[in-house]
Amino acid sequence: MIMKTLYKLLYVFAFLHITACDKPLEYFDINDGDDHLTGKSKYVVTATPVGTEGVADYLLLADNLESGSITTQGNGIEQDGSYRYYVTHKNRFFSMLYGQGNPGAVTTYRLDSLGHLVKVSNFQTETVQVFAPAGDDVLLMKVPRSGNEFCQMYRVNARQYSIVGEEQVNIVQLAGNGERAHFTWATQVGNKVYAPYMSIKGCCGDAFGTAFPDSSWVAVFSYPDLKVEKVIRDNRTSYIGAYFNNGLVETELGEVYAFSPAAATNSSKVTTTNPSAIVKINPSTEEFDQQYFFNIEKISGGYHIDAWTYLGENKFILTMYPEPNSIDGLTRKFAVVDVAEQSFKWVSGTPDDITSVTSINNYAPMDGITGYIGITTASEGSYVYVFDANLATAKKGLKVEGGTITAIHKLNY
């Protein structure tokens, strides 16, 4: 208890020191609100600049995603470090430095009344592998892949820009099979948080390998106190989502769908025998729906899901691996699915020489039709591609010059 109290006091001191020293105190509007929004919005597009060291990304603003161009040359707000990850919540844009095991900066931005992107806070947390909106907070989870048996969880209030709660869970005890639970993501479902996890060895030169490749697990946490209430299990596919990849979504009707890439390995060889599929969880029973199983691998002719983007109204854009019966390669294929109807259509209009695709950081207006995904090719550079679920097509939209798109978000002002 003494050490925990001391840790909190040190954290508060560090937070005050960082926010005071990074910029003059008046630079940060800690009590800023959205009481006087104009009804306008802009898009935050992040891009890794070409040929630049020590810069993770530039934050660029765009008025629309359908056309035009923006550039990293002499433009945008520089984000330092090697890697940055992003989440938007409560009309705030959070930029998180991946500290390679060291503490990482969390920088928060909003749009001012003129539509300019301004910094409202800058503090530090542990480097985390999960960052997801939950209630009024951004839930952060530091998930050790070896050694330490405890996953640390932090609630960062999205308007106070500070840690307002923390908890931990023993991931070896949670797995209960001699391995460890490695959370792939977290999603608020009603007044709880669902956190799918991989079962991994965490040792022996094969940290992400597993002896249990054909099972799925979702830990159910109470919120905001973050206590494990139960684990939902199934054995028709493999683990849900992927490392830094949200594989579970609650729809507008309160239904919960999850995908598995069927990519579990042992000694670097894929050992999953179950197919890549979409499954359903009934929130009222907190169990997998045994009457529902959308076998994507079968309907697609052997392809595996790599990531997905929810468009609203049960529609998803699936990002698929490039070849059937494989989880290798950079080139991607895309498909539209309706999870309620279990319909599948390949998307036309995407390029062939893809070198990079945004995965968890795409934007959709939730109209059940439109999605915006960043695609970079070797021949033409980076574009925001506009996907139409009704037509199962994609076309070039906003061009991003001088960089590789890493995230697409929207803020109101």
Give bridge partners of residue 46 from the DSSP assignment: 59, 407
In whole angstroms, what is the distance from residue 375 CA to residue 359 CA? 10
DSSP 11: H
Beta-strand pair 130-134/117-125: unpaired
φ and ψ at residue 53, rounded to 5 degrees = -100, 145
Q: What CA–CA distances, in Å, run from 331 to 210, 261, 269?
A: 27, 16, 21
User: Which spans in 86-207 are helix H?
Assistant: 171-175
Contact 84, 407 (CB under 8 A): no
Strand, helix or coil for residue 263 = coil
pLDDT at residue 249 in the model = 98
State which amino acid sits at residue 364. Answer: A
| Long-range Cβ contacts of 145-151 (<8 Å, 24+ apart) | 145/180, 145/182, 145/200, 145/202, 145/207, 145/208, 146/202, 146/203, 146/207, 147/202, 149/173, 149/180, 151/181, 151/183
Spell out the residues 6+ positions from residue 6 whose beta carbon is closer than 8 angstroms to its own.
none
Nearest to 215 by CA among 262, 182, 257: 262
pLDDT at residue 26 in the model = 30
pLDDT at residue 412 in the model = 97
The pTM assigned to this predicted structure is 0.90
Contact 350, 396 (CB under 8 A): no
Spell out the residues 6+ positions from residue 273 whose beta carbon is closer than 8 angstroms to its own.
213, 214
Nearest to 361 by CA among 321, 405, 393: 405
pLDDT at residue 34 in the model = 64
pLDDT at residue 100 in the model = 67
In whole angstroms, what is the distance from residue 43 CA to residue 408 CA? 7
In whole angstroms, what is the distance from residue 395 CA to residue 340 CA? 26
User: Which spans in 151-233 are helix H?
Assistant: 171-175
State which amino acid sits at residue 230. Answer: K
Q: Which residue in the block uniquely carries the two structure tokens 């019966």?
A: 325
In whole angstroms, what is the distance from residue 191 CA to residue 283 CA? 11
Contact 262, 297 (CB under 8 A): yes
Adjacency order of strands within the sheet including 77-80: 77-80, 55-62, 41-49, 403-412
Show pLDDT as tens, one digit a residue, over the chain (413 residues). Answer: 433 333 333 333 333 333 333 333 233 444 455 657 889 999 999 999 987 777 899 999 999 999 999 999 989 999 988 889 999 999 999 999 886 666 778 899 999 999 999 999 988 877 788 999 999 999 999 999 999 999 999 999 999 888 999 999 999 999 999 999 999 999 999 999 999 999 999 999 999 999 999 999 999 999 999 999 999 999 999 999 998 899 999 999 999 999 999 999 999 999 999 999 999 999 999 999 999 999 999 999 999 999 999 999 999 999 999 999 999 887 789 999 999 999 999 999 999 999 999 988 999 999 999 999 999 999 999 999 999 999 999 999 999 999 999 999 999 99
